[in-house]
Amino acid sequence: MKKLEGLLFLFFIFSSSLFCQQYDDFFINKACRVDFHFSGNAQQTAVFMANVKLEPFWGGRHEHLSTDLNLGDYRFRVLDSLSNRQIYINGFCSLYREWQTTAEALTTSKSFEQSIQFPFPKKAITLIIEKRLDLDHWIELFRYALSPTDKLIQRTQPLSVPVKVIARTATPEKAIDIAVIAEGYTLKEQKKFYRDAQRLADNLLTHEPFTKYKSRINIYAIAAVSDESGISISNDSLWKNTAVGSHFYTFYEPRYLTTTNVFKVRDLAALVPYDAIYILANTSTYGGGGIFNFYALIAADSNLATQVTVHEFGHSFAGLADEYFYDKQDALDAMYDIKKEPWEPNITTLVQFDRKWKARLPEGTIIPTPVNDSTKTRIGVFEGGGYLTKGMYRPYFDCRMRTNKAPGFCPVCQQALERMILFLTE
């Protein structure tokens, strides 16, 4: 079954490329970055434009540009203005969407920085940003006409920050390019950052499917300098002046480590071609965060750094959901509507389970799957996941997306990660 699924996916990649335009028909080998703001509250979302930038590197895919994997809370579509033909599409997530599910969003309106990137167009395009309603339906939030000759497109020189190549195995269009950004490292700690980045890379490549595809992974260490060493811990009134201003206690959750300074992150990542951004925080305090198709952020010196490194990359790279859940209330309890099928590949409400791992269930699998010595080592439908104890199900008893004790990703998560690798590199 696994071999058949792999062949079917490769057929999808091959066939979609036959019916889509060639990269050179519409794009040059540089990146177009669009900065904007998500603004609103629990009930409302608006998009406001900030800037458009021409960046020197495009590290993303060159094939099947007009198809995607149906991942993300949002997506953007690029249309050729003359023909109205879709020439690029990609999904993404935002910290703003998570904030909308918190209690604060019920009484307060806020604005969050957001940024997207796509190949720089040769001709005039229309950019459309959409919000997901359910597994297959979207609503338009924003539409923008963009000409590549617009004199207000920023063409500034990249920042002057040292970059070290940790691994380079293939050209950007045939590789997963990972930009690792230093956060909370002073100039004197630059060598420490390079060691930490190397350790992160070495650890990631010991986990499948990254071990299998290590010949397709490029990793760059971007040594951004912070004025102060360490990371801000807001609950302790400890604020540091760091490269991208990350902090613990996001949404008042102690271990949730993120940054809202999206434009600063993108400015640093622009020094290299990239498919993924990894922010390495110089702290021993346990924590991290991962946002699909944007960044993963982890504490480099935590006792669980090697485990969290892989978990957060599962979020940011392949859109994997958290499979853990709490008996007590969590800040993200309202993330999912159990009357709808979530888009993440490793959780289900059973509403459209046939779109998930149903075909991979062993014959006779009980739903929900009871926990015993036999079921713990095979694919099932285990209740609990996505922060919810009831109504949400995960494919394996334990997985790196559930606990730090799990040795690695379960078979369903591995398949999702491999699917993304092939999508970006085939």
SS (H, E, C) 180-222: EEEECCCHHHHHHHHHHHHHHHHHHCCCCCCCCCHHHEEEEEE
Q: Distance between CA atoms of 298 and 281, rounded to whole angstroms?
A: 6
Residue 3: pLDDT above 50? no
Q: What tens digit of pLDDT does each residue of 304-356 get?
A: 999 999 999 999 999 999 999 977 555 556 789 999 999 999 999 999 999 99
pLDDT at 253: 93
Over range 263-270, report the average pLDDT: 98
Please name each of the domains of the chain with its CATH number.
17-146 (2.60.40.3250), 163-319 (3.40.390.10), 333-408 (no CATH)
Q: What is the mean pLDDT of the chain?
A: 94
Over range 266-275, report the average pLDDT: 98
Over range 96-122, report the average pLDDT: 97
- Residues in a beta bridge with 79: 86, 126
Q: Distance between CA atoms of 25 and 11, rounded to whole angstroms?
A: 23
Q: Between 328 and 93, whose confidence is greater?
A: 93
Order of strands, edge to edge, in the sheet holding 125-132? 86-92, 74-80, 125-132, 138-146
Q: Which two tokens stand for residue 115?
A: 């940024």
Q: Between 110 and 326, whose confidence is greater?
A: 110
pLDDT at 329: 54
Q: What tens digit of pLDDT does each residue of 201-226 get?
A: 999 999 999 999 999 999 999 999 99
pLDDT at 332: 56
**Cβ–Cβ < 8 Å for 130, 143:** no
Q: Is 424 helix (H, G, I), strand (E, B) or coil?
A: helix
Over range 65-72, report the average pLDDT: 97
pLDDT at 288: 96
**Closest listed residue to residue 349, CA positions, set 392, 382, 388, 320:** 392
Band the pLDDT of 19: cuts 50, 70, 90.
Answer: very low
pLDDT at 228: 98
Over range 291-295, report the average pLDDT: 97
pLDDT at 334: 72
**Cβ–Cβ < 8 Å for 416, 346:** yes
- pTM given for the model: 0.92
**Closest listed residue to residue 49, CA positions, set 153, 133, 121:** 153
Q: What tens digit of pLDDT does each residue of 79-91 get?
A: 999 999 999 999 9
Q: What tens digit of pLDDT does each residue of 155-203 get?
A: 999 999 999 999 999 999 999 999 999 999 999 999 999 999 999 999 9
pLDDT at 335: 85
Would strands 382-385 and 45-55 be described as parallel, antiparallel, or unpaired? unpaired
pLDDT at 14: 46
